[in-house]
Amino acid sequence: MRPLIAVTATRTLRSSLRISNNAANEVAAITKPKKRAQSKTSSKKSSPSPQSAQVVPMKTATDSNGITRCSWCTNDPIYQFYHDNEWGNSPITDDRLLFELLCLEGAQAGLSWITILKRRQNYKDAFDDFDPSIVAKYTADKINQLIQNDGIIRNKLKIQSAVTNANAFLKVQKEFGTFSEYLWGFAPEGGPTAHLNEGNKCRAVSPESEAMSKDLKKRGFMFVGPTICYAYMQSIGMVNDHHVDCFLYPNKEKSQSD
């Protein structure tokens, strides 16, 4: 017969080993899923982000003259003129106009685009025709004056962002020669119509708009998230998202004659 102390010690040792083994199994069970999760995360880095894949439905509407347009411009003449003459039609490279549209896109954040378009001339008058060299020098008094202007969206942060962006804009000009030279470096490969196989859907963002947003933010720009940047790309003709049935869809006349 073994001494009681020895038996007790043996049982304690066996119990400790069982606890140790159970603990090891539990640790292994916990760590395995984590390893799988980490591998999934790392694999996503090489693919476009989920946000880049977002699309929004597109429709068309035909007016009384038989002209079919993207339906977002409704039957408002201001909206239709913008749709027919600016949106996604011709690449814009003029720095002053690029600055104007950048400011207007920022002002539009959280609002409808028609709200800004109807105030566009008021904005041009209030912001010295969007001359970045003038806007960059706006003082606190000038900003307070703009806040009282009921012809524009009187949001202090958005108004201040125009001044901030003007200064960042001038720095980019100094570095690249023109803002256009810098900006068009983000244009998608294949040109404005490279993605039009999406048919009746329009992206909300793209890998290019995400890259543009990231770089603009690093340079001190405000109100330049990926969605705003994609809308900006549309407005300056960097991408062309006219609906396949819209009369401005690229090569529409050619496709109708074929």
Residues placed in the known binding site for Zn(2+): 70, 83, 242, 246
Asked if 184 is an active-site residue, the reply is no
Q: Which of 100, 105, 208, 210 is catalytic?
A: 105
- 142 CB burial (10 A radius; 0-12, 13-18, 19+): middle
Residue 197 in tokens: 């196989």
- Distance from C-alpha of 224 to C-alpha of 77, rounded to nearest angstrom: 28
Would you say 239 and 245 are in contact if contact means Cβ atoms under 8 Å apart? no
| Secondary structure (3-state) at 118 | coil
Asked if 113 is an active-site residue, the reply is yes
- Numbered residues of the known binding site: 70, 83, 242, 246
Residue 27 in tokens: 């640790």
- CA distances to 11, 186, 215, 254 from 211, rounded to whole Å, are 64, 7, 6, 34
| Secondary structure (3-state) at 188 | coil
CA terminus-to-terminus distance, the chain: 103
The set of catalytic residues is 82, 105, 113
